[in-house]
Amino acid sequence: MRKRILTGDRPTGKLHLGHYVGSLASRVKLQDEYECFFIIADYHTLTTAPEKEKVRRLSSLTRELVLDYLSVGIDPAKATIYLQSQVPEVCELSLIFGMLVGISRLQRVPTLKDMIRDLKIENPSFGLLGYPVLQAADILMVRANLVPVGKDQVSHVELTREIARKFNKLYGKVFPEPEPLVGEVPTLVGIDGKKKMSKSLGNCIFLSDPPEEVERKVMMMYTDPARIHPTDPGHVEGNPVFIYHDAFNSNKEEVEELKDRYRKGTVGDVEVKRKLARAINDFLSPIRKRREAFSGKEGIIEEILGEGREKVRREAVSTLSRVKKAMGLAL
């Protein structure tokens, strides 16, 4: 049997080039080799944004996210895309798991500490502390073997493994211990040169940006701050414009030539950026075409999520009945 994968996103906004290199590109490959479940974790957004106006935006954000997935080539015929809140069994499993983890263990999870600090949360909710417990329920509900995550989320998979072990020890073996699958690609810098392209920093090129927007953003990109005139020798290493050329320009010869001329001071930033904007637009062109094709199909998103839900719920009902049987709870 093929190994199972669970990974996904919270519906908090449009996906960008950083998401593409950091997770989407590998998902498109993984879907051919593994049985993939891609979760849209809407309940997880409530841990930090329970306000009504934010909750009401979730359904349109979810649609955009599914379109982002489809546009990069995630194929619902190969992978299962589903919405967390449409699988209520996950809440039961999360409740049971919550009894197997100590509060002090959760308080030590580094991502939670960061979140509480960054968002200046004075009194973290019970739900926020339970964030990684709910995630463990998502993962173990489908009995996933592998969990592709960024480096920062490895601690969540570790906690999931602890929960699986604890459950199996107390009640008998029901769950596999999933392994994290950490991508090797470095974090993509933002157009402002900050070390991470991120929505909250406002330094993103989105997969859904139109060509003119890409051009506008590229032309204002941060380059080599030490270089004043186009005739000054410039730095290529660590220069965001060249990092993007390496990542998105398929014409490697052009990239090498530009680097060479940049180092010698025989090409200006404007030419390097024009060529970059064209390269990114070429890269995005098939993505845009797919997006357009799918957005033209009335009801397609609902259909995909509906099928995903059916498929996951079959797994969920079966997992939960094994859980209850193992524990000796009434079925």
What does the binding site for ligand ATP look like in residue numbers (CB under 6 A)? 9, 12, 18-19, 21-23, 149-150, 187-188, 196-200
Give the nearer residue to ligand ATP in terms of CB position, either 74 or 93.
74
* Shortest distance in whole angstroms from residue 9 CB to ligand ATP: 6
In the complex, least distance from residue 224 CB atom to ligand ATP, rounded to whole angstroms: 20
User: Do the bridges between strand 179-182 and strand 146-149 make them parallel or antiparallel, or are there none, so unpaired?
Assistant: parallel
> To the nearest whole angstrom, how small is the minimum distance from the Cβ of residue 285 to ligand ATP?
21
CB distance 236 to 242 below 8 Å: yes
- Rounded to a whole number of angstroms, the minimum distance from the CB of residue 18 to ligand ATP is 2
Residue nearest to ligand ATP (CB): 22
232 vs 246, beta carbon nearer ligand ATP: 246
Helix (H) or strand (E) holding 35: strand 35-40
Of the pair 179, 271, the CB lying nearest ligand ATP is at 179
User: Cβ closer to ligand ATP: 198 or 295?
Assistant: 198
Query: Which residue, 95 or 119, has its beta carbon nearer to ligand ATP?
Result: 119
Short-list 129, 139, 128, CA closest to 164: 139
On whether the CB atoms of residues 319 and 136 are closer than 8 A, the answer is no
Tell me whether residue 22 or residue 234 sits nearer to ligand ATP (CB atom): 22
Rg (CA), the chain: 22
Residue closer to ligand ATP by CB (options 135, 319) is 135
Cβ proximity to ligand ATP, 147 vs 149, nearer residue: 149
* Strand partners of residue 80: 37
CA distance 78 to 61: 23
**Closest separation between CB of residue 14 and ligand ATP, Å?**
9
Sheet holding 179-182: strands in order across? 80-83, 35-40, 4-9, 146-149, 179-182
Query: To the nearest whole angstrom, how small is the minimum distance from the Cβ of residue 153 to ligand ATP?
Result: 6
Judged by CB, which is closer to ligand ATP: 54, or 196? 196
CB of 17 to ligand ATP, least distance (A): 8
The minimum distance between CB 144 and ligand ATP, in angstroms, equals: 16
The answer to whether residues 70 and 31 touch, using CB atoms and an 8 Å cutoff, is no
Q: Which amino acid is at 165?
A: R
Residue with tokens 């993007």: 244
CB of 200 to ligand ATP, least distance (A): 5
Token reading at 54: 């934010």
What span, in angstroms and rounded, lies between the C-alpha atoms of 185 and 205? Answer: 18
Residue 170 identity = L
Residue 93 contacts by C-beta under 8 Å, 6 or more apart in sequence? 137, 140, 141, 316, 319, 320, 323
Where does the chain have alpha helices with state H? 17-19, 25-33, 42-45, 52-72, 89-98, 103-107, 110-118, 126-129, 131-141, 154-171, 211-219, 240-248, 252-264, 269-295, 300-327
